[in-house]
Structure 1
């Protein structure tokens, strides 16, 4: 049922997102060198590694680590990188992963392949059995601001409370967070 709803929502959003994605494509291309999309190796359901796209908000020489591990992430941002991140528009290409079935609209955010502490903690709690999401319960409760143990606790809470109604609540809270640009540290 959740997969069907993901597909229906993808197709419903597609006509509204084509033009903004084209504009973002041009803006990223015009303001920095390198590819428009950044494909990162992410950990999905059952700890399967998949490629997740984002509109590139960081320079091409940025180390492949979680942003919070960079000493000063702002020095790596492209001219429109901060805007892309704060508006969460950099996440739009992930609809491709939802369409392919690697992600869902709601679930734990997919960890980077090298976030071993997060991957291990999620595996111990069986959170790795859930399909990762574009947004999630941890996202609406702190996003970049919460430490890994708290993030995993939110992920576990989501796993235990999963329902259509809970997903709708998370999507609504995500919309509010994005509009208010809350929880983005750079």
Structure 2
């Protein structure tokens, strides 16, 4: 690589697990680096062939580098107080960015964790990472990228995969695909590639880096097994309820008990989605939020509120057109939402009966916000995350019926 065009980074906090694995990869790609930390001697010991400095040196050295990568952190397994987390994860990050801006650095990259995306996670670590994001986005300075990463895969493992560091190599290799299926992961090489394209970002942005679960056969197998077992359990346990609901619908209003509607599924292909009919036959064939509330039958209101109307979709699961968890399928006429999902690769997912957007009460009246949430699910999907979303749905999350929202 031509050195005059090589990426150039100031790397703060390189002595941690991520830094120890990332610096050699960046160096091998031809990147120029200045490693910054509180202890220069420690950095020299770990990286004897790299230039090192302390934070106070950043302004005079910054003019030679285009990006500052902030890796310094108080880790999630620390028993430190919140104030200690905040000093490193927030205050030190702001200080480093201000010093970099004073020296003319063009871009600042802050490493966060997917734990910070879970607002229910009130650990000191997650709270401090969210506080850092807010502080960085709300304070003036150089353009900033926030990168959210899950458990790290490399020569050593971090986060939920740290147990593999103490496992015999042959056994770790056998267990890894299943553990990756249970929780999201990212390979350190993917992190390196993301940083080497940093010159492309010219405004504040955030990125979730995670390994695509579609390449993990263990995830595909476990998710399909979970869908089939769940659908079979519903049929075996609730067949009587489905028969009663079908009879009541037929008695209460003229028309079929099962409602069939064309929806957009995997890879943008249409399929027939099944539900218990909750509306009069005269109801317009539009998205739920566009339908008038008067179109819903009295019994249909109960079915929609309890989500019992979704039960026939287990047959869509049996024929592999849907999953229990995924983006809710939209109508072919909802072209804006389809395009937003296509741009974000959301259409590569099977649609679901419930999903991340649904439990967060995000409906199809806001196509961009919905597609962004669907993309987040695409990045973070795992078996444990799917189970969590299913339990949240059963517990009543996302039960607000948006019927008539746009018609009022």
2:331 alignment partner in structure 1: 112
1:89-128 equivalent positions in 2, closer than 5 A: 89-128=308-347
C-alpha spacing 1:166/1:146, structure 2 compared with 1 (3 Å): farther
* Match in the other structure for 1:56: 277
Distance change in 2, residues 1:145/1:156 (3 Å): closer
Residue 150 of structure 1 deviates from its aligned partner by 1.4
Size of the aligned set, in residue pairs, is: 182
Question: 1:158 aligned to 354, 374, 377, which one?
Answer: 377
Normalization by structure 2: what TM-score?
Answer: 0.43
Moved over 4 A (4+): none
Residue correspondence of structure 1 range 27-106 to structure 2 within 5 A? 27-70=248-291, 73-106=292-325
Partner of 2:402: 185
Paired with 1:47 and 1:53, the residues of 2 have a C-alpha distance of: 18
SS at the partner of 1:80?
A: helix
- The alpha-carbon deviation at position 142 of structure 1 amounts to 0.5
Q: Is the 8 A contact 1:41 1:52 kept in 2?
A: yes
What whole-Å deviation, never above 9, does each CA across 1:70-127 have from its counterpart, x for those lacking one? 3xx2211112111111111110000000011000010001111211111110001000
Structure 2 runs not aligned, ≥5 long: 1-220, 404-408
| C-alpha spacing 1:52/1:145, structure 2 compared with 1 (3 Å) | closer
Per-residue CA distance 1:40-98 (angstroms, 9 max, x = gap): 0000000010000110000111111112123xx22111121111111111100000000
Note if contact 1:106-1:134 (Cα within 8 Å) is conserved in structure 2: yes
Is 1:136 aligned with 2:340? Answer: no
Provide the C-alpha distance between the structure 2 equivalents of 1:85 and 1:91, rounded to a whole number of angstroms.
Answer: 8
Secondary structure at the aligned position of 1:158 is classed as helix
Structure 1 spans left out of the alignment, 5+ residues? none
For 2:324 and 2:376, locate their aligned partners in 1 and report how far apart those are by CA, in whole Å. 17
- Contact 2:280-2:296 at 8 Å conserved across structures: yes
TM-score by length of 1: 0.93
Task: Say which SS state the counterpart of residue 350 (structure 2) adopts.
Answer: coil
Q: Please give the secondary structure, in 1, of the residue aligned with 2:327.
A: coil
Deviation at 1:144, TM superposition (A): 3.8
Residue 63 to residue 145, structure 1, CA distance change in 2 (3 Å) = closer
Question: What RMSD over aligned residues (CA atoms) do the two structures have, in Å?
Answer: 1.5
The alpha carbon displacement at 1:143 in A equals: 4.6
Q: Considering Cα pairs closer than 8 Å and 6+ residues apart, tell me whether 1 or 2 has the greater RCO.
A: 1
* Equivalent residue runs for 1:4-23 within 5 Å: 4-23=225-244
